[in-house]
Amino acid sequence: MSRSIRIFLVAAIAGAVGAVAVVASARSRSPARAGAAGAELLRIREADIAFYARRVVADRQGALDRTRLGALLLEQSRYTGDERALIRAESLARESLALRTAHNAGAWRLLVSALLGQHRFTAALEASEQLLAIDPDSPGARATRGEILLELGRYQAADSVFGSLAIRRNDPAVSPRYARWLEIRGHGGEARRLLEQSRDDATRGGASADQLAWFDLRLGDLAFRYGKRVEALDHVERGLAVFPGDWRFLALAARIELARHRAKRAITLGDSSLALHLDPATLATVGDAWLAEGDSAQADSYFKALEGASGTAPSGGFHRAWYLALLDHNQRVPMVLQALTREITARPDAYGWDLLAWARYRAGQIPAAREAIDSALAIGTGDPLILGHARAIREGQ
């Protein structure tokens, strides 16, 4: 990324709160009060991290303290996007298990979650099997294993897991993963209704602000991808009212505003998100917004940053988002095609096949692209992204 872009993005941090006002609207509760509640939760988490970090240093045999610190770092990584926190959480889980194997299911849960967060799905699956051996009746552990199987493209095995969990679909540890299974299997409406019910249940149950924000993020993304922009924006407003510095909500807001042909707002929101966390999809969004404003020079600076972004952001899920953004802008197509051809053997899920199909299409390999997109569609997904790629590929010459 160029020095000028870095300086600009750092300066944009100061505008992050102002960007929230772009999408904020009147609510029954005060946004300022909600934002203060989110800030207090983050402050408490930071204090807890510091507290348990001291305990871990002081007690070399503290298995439970290591698990607790790792869980806090895992929560922090979801807000900040910092992969280092995920790696540290994994390390702490392994340290805890080395100190204590009996009655330490929490460390196994932490290890599974940390590996999932890094998109190390094969290792996560192995750890989940260890967890199930200890706690075979846990619905959450079973649902997590089903989630990992989905990510690996092992759909028949995932179907078996989630089929057995149908009666527990409203369990808080099950519902988000069950909804993901429904969505991938082509039941997006059912997935949305289950998530909405789960959010309502969580609200009544006194769930924390960040837990409720997760539901809004998931529902907002789902609504946006299925063309419900006003509904998506409503969820974004809820999330930003509580966590105005959450890069994920700012990035989603930028995508929504660009889709609504509000390029200037998309730029403001996207820059505020990028100042907090480097995300390839957001670089592409802001670049496209500058193109919509008729400023190709500004757009080009973001696209150049996108092209060189692989060494400056997390490696797990980042690369798929990076590959898609590059392909959408016809950048580094041979490199992306080679990488996806290699990766599909280890992770033949619907989105992997879709990306490979799109890369082949961009490379002019139309018959091979059609074969790959057929593999993606065979899963039964109704994701508009995949369906859109399928239409373009089938119409290609």
Q: What is the pLDDT of residues 29-49, one digit of tens each?
A: 444 555 677 889 999 999 999
Q: Over the stretch 289-310, which tens digit does the pLDDT of each residue have? A: 999 999 999 999 999 999 887 5
> What pLDDT does residue 10 have?
45
* pTM summary value: 0.89
Q: Of 397 and 184, which is predicted with more confidence?
A: 184
Q: Tens of pLDDT along 174-186? A: 999 999 999 999 9
Q: Write the CA distances from 362 to 11, 209, 310, 330, 335, integer angstroms.
A: 36, 42, 20, 7, 12
pLDDT digits (tens, 9 = 90+) for 314-337: 455 558 999 999 999 999 999 999
Q: Distance (Å, rounded) from C-alpha 240 to C-alpha 309?
A: 26
The b/e string for 92-115 (b: 16+ C-beta within 10 A; e otherwise) is bbbbbbebbeeebbbbbbbbbbbb
Report the C-alpha gap between 149 and 322 in whole angstroms.
23
pLDDT number for residue 29: 40
Residue type, 167: I
383: left (phi over 0), alpha (psi -120 to 50) or beta: beta
- Beta carbons within 10 angstroms of residue 57's beta carbon: 10
Q: Across residues 238-244, what is the average pLDDT?
A: 93
Given a cut of 60, whether residue 17 has pLDDT beyond it is no
Identify residue 4 by its one-letter amino acid code.
S
Phi-psi region of 208 (alpha: psi -120 to 50; beta: other; left: phi over 0): beta
Mean pLDDT across 235-248: 94
